[in-house]
Amino acid sequence: MSKTAISTENAPKPVAAFSQAVRKGNILQVAGQVAFDPATGAIVGDTVGEQTEQTFKNIEAVLEAAGSSLADAVMVRVYLTDVDHFGVFNEVYNKLIGEAPHPARTTVYVGLPAGLLVEIDVLAVVD
């Protein structure tokens, strides 16, 4: 069973040697996405809420390019830069994640490049 790289113009291009997503069999791993505008490369939004919305747009674009959607997500890993952003992030996340059953989720607090407040990666199982 071979691996297939997934790529779309509707999500930001990777800044290093990695794919936007990789599929092997029915497993799809979406690389960490951030709030970059795919057309300009600029950060979209100054708040964690705005950045979360753009990050989800990027994730959904990659999932769609792979023939998938958030409904196939089984795990979401969230990287936040500030514990104080957790509440606002959750409000936006709960609005965007879709219907139950919801994917498992882990939230980690990290440093990200200047101006970025959130990064999210997704593991999906595609039928």
Q: Read off the pTM.
A: 0.95
Q: How confident is the model at residue 119 (pLDDT cuts 50, 70, 90)?
A: very high
User: Which pLDDT value is given to residue 1?
Assistant: 84
Flag whether pLDDT at 19 surpasses 90. yes
Q: Which domain covers residue 76, as residue numbers?
A: 3-125
Beta-carbon count within 10 A of 43 CB: 18
Q: How confident is the model at residue 127 (pLDDT cuts 50, 70, 90)?
A: confident
In contact, 51 and 59? CB cutoff 8 Å: no
Higher pLDDT: 11 or 99? It is 11
* Residue 116, C-beta contacts closer than 8 angstroms, at least 6 positions apart: 34, 35, 43, 51, 81
Number of domains composing the chain? 1
CATH number at residue 25: 3.30.1330.40
Flag whether pLDDT at 62 surpasses 90. yes
Of the candidates 98, 8, 91, 102, which has an alpha carbon nearest to the alpha carbon of residue 50?
91
